[in-house]
C-alpha cells in the first residue's frame, strides 16, 4: 500500500483545522492521496462542531491511516493537547504546533510516511514560547541535521504555471542586499536544480536568474550588484553545465510568454518572488522546501485568525500542497 502523507496540525487556533476538515471532505472530488493528521483529535472534533460539520474522525496508528482515510479522517496523536478556541491561541498552542511538526518529520525520516505537509503556524505565538527559528523552513532544516551540519533549506513557491525561489527570504530589503553573494546564489541554484531533477522529474532544468536592481542594473548605471554579484553566479552555473540565464530584468520575467522559457525563477529577495506567484495563484500556490532529505510542502498562506472557525477558509492551497507532495514522492527515487 502507498505510504500516506503526514499532515501537521499547525497553529490550533488558526485555519489549519478548518482546511484539514474541508480537504478530507473533498478527498474524492479532488482525488487526494491518503493523509493523516498529526495532532490532537479533540481539537479537530471541536472545530468540526464549531463549523457545524459532521465528520468521522478516527485516532489510529500510522500503519492503519491509509486504510482508514476512505471512511474517516485519520489522526495520529502527539501526546500534546490543543485547547485553543478559533482565533484565540492559548498556552497549549505552541507546544501542540511544534510537537506536530517534529512528529510528522520523524514519521517521514523513519519511512512510515511519504512526505510532510504542514499547516500554517503563527510565528508570533511560537516566539512567545521561546521558539528560536525564524519560521517553518529553518526548523525543518534543524530537524534534518541528524549527526551532521544542517542543510541549506531553499523556499520554493510553486503553482502549475510558475515556480519561484527567493535567494534571500525573511529579512528586510536592506539586509537582503547585504546578504546577497555570488556564493549564495550559486548554492541556492544548485539545490534547486538537484531537486527539480530528483523531486519533479525535470531532466535538464532551466533557470531564469532575476537581477537585483531595476532593469538588472542597466550595466551598472542603476546599481553595480548585478554586474558584480549576480552575473558571476550565472557564469559559474553555466560553466557547470546548468541552463541558467541572467541577470534578467525582473519586470519582464513573469508574463505568460516569458514563463514558458524556464522551469524556475530565482529572485534576489522575498517580494520579488512572491508578488508574481501570489498574483497568478493566490489560492492555489504551494510552499515547497528544497534541500532537505525529505519532502515538505505547505499551503502558501497564514493562520488567518480572523476567519478561523467561520467556515470561510479556502482549502485550495492545502489540497494543492497534498497533491504536489504525493507527486514529488512518486517522482523521487526509492
Q: What pTM was computed for the model?
A: 0.92
Residue 137 counted as an annotated binding residue: yes
Residue 296 counted as an annotated binding residue: yes
* Domain edges within the chain: 5-152+308-331, 161-277
CB atoms within 10 A of CB 276: 20
Domain topology for 5-152+308-331: Isopropylmalate Dehydrogenase (3.40.718)
CATH, domain range 161-277? 3.40.718.10
Predicted confidence (pLDDT) per residue in 290-314, tens digit: 999 999 999 999 999 999 999 999 9
Query: What average pLDDT does the chain have?
Result: 93
pLDDT of 14 reads 97
Share of the chain above pLDDT 70, in %: 96
Residue 126 pLDDT greater than 80, yes or no: no
Residue 270 counted as an annotated binding residue: yes
pLDDT band at 79 (very low <50, low <70, confident <90, very high): very high
Residue 1 pLDDT greater than 60, yes or no: no
Please tell me if the domain spanning 5-152+308-331 has the same topology as the one spanning 161-277. Answer: yes
pLDDT of 143 reads 78
End-to-end Cα spacing for the chain:
15
Give me the mean pLDDT over the 6-34 stretch. Answer: 97
Residue 38 pLDDT greater than 90, yes or no: yes
| Of 169, 248, 174, 239, the residue nearest 208 (C-alpha) | 248
| Of 296, 288, 286, 298, the residue nearest 114 (C-alpha) | 296
pLDDT of 283 reads 87
Residue 136 counted as an annotated binding residue: yes
Amino acid at each position: 500500500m502507498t505510504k500516506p502523507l503526514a499532515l501537521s496540525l499547525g497553529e490550533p487556533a488558526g485555519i489549519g483545522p478548518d482546511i484539514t476538515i474541508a480537504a478530507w471532505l473533498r478527498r474524492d472530488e479532488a482525488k487526494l492521496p491518503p493523509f493523516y493528521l498529526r495532532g490532537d483529535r479533540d481539537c479537530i472534533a471541536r472545530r468540526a462542531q464549531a463549523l457545524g460539520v459532521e465528520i468521522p474522525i478516527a485516532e489510529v496508528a500510522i500503519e492503519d491511516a491509509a486504510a482508514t482515510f476512505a471512511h474517516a479522517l485519520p489522526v495520529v496523536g502527539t501526546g500534546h493537547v490543543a485547547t485553543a478556541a478559533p482565533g484565540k491561541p492559548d498556552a497549549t498552542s505552541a507546544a501542540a504546533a511544534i510537537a506536530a511538526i517534529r512528529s510528522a518529520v520523524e514519521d517521514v525520516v523513519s519511512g512510515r510516511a511519504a512526505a510532510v505537509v504542514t499547516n500554517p503556524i503563527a510565528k508570533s505565538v511560537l516566539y512567545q514560547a521561546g521558539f528560536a527559528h525564524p519560521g517553518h523552513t529553518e526548523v525543518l532544516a534543524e530537524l534534518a541535521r541528524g549527526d551532521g551540519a544542517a542543510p541549506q533549506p531553499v523556499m520554493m513557491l510553486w503553482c502549475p504555471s510558475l515556480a519561484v525561489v527567493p535567494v534571500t527570504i525573511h529579512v528586510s530589503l536592506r539586509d537582503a542586499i547585504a546578504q546577497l553573494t555570488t556564493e549564495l546564489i550559486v548554492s541556492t541554484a544548485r539545490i534547486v536544480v538537484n531537486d527539480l531533477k530528483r523531486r519533479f522529474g525535470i531532466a535538464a532544468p532551466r533557470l531564469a536568474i532575476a537581477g537585483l536592481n531595476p532593469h538588472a542594473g542597466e550595466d551598472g548605471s542603476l546599481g553595480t550588484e548585478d554586474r558584480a554579484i549576480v552575473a558571476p553566479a550565472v557564469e559559474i552555473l553555466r560553466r557547470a553545465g546548468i541552463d541558467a540565464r541572467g541577470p534578467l530584468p525582473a519586470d519582464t520575467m513573469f508574463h505568460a510568454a516569458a514563463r514558458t522559457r524556464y522551469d524556475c525563477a530565482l529572485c534576489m529577495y522575498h517580494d520579488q518572488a512572491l508578488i508574481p506567484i501570489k498574483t497568478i495563484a493566490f489560492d492555489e500556490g504551494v510552499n515547497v522546501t528544497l534541500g532537505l532529505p525529505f519532502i515538505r510542502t505547505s499551503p502558501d498562506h497564514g493562520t488567518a485568525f480572523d476567519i478561523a472557525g467561520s467556515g470561510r477558509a479556502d482549502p485550495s492551497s492545502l489540497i494543492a500542497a497534498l497533491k504536489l507532495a504525493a507527486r514529488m514522492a512518486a517522482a523521487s527515487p526509492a
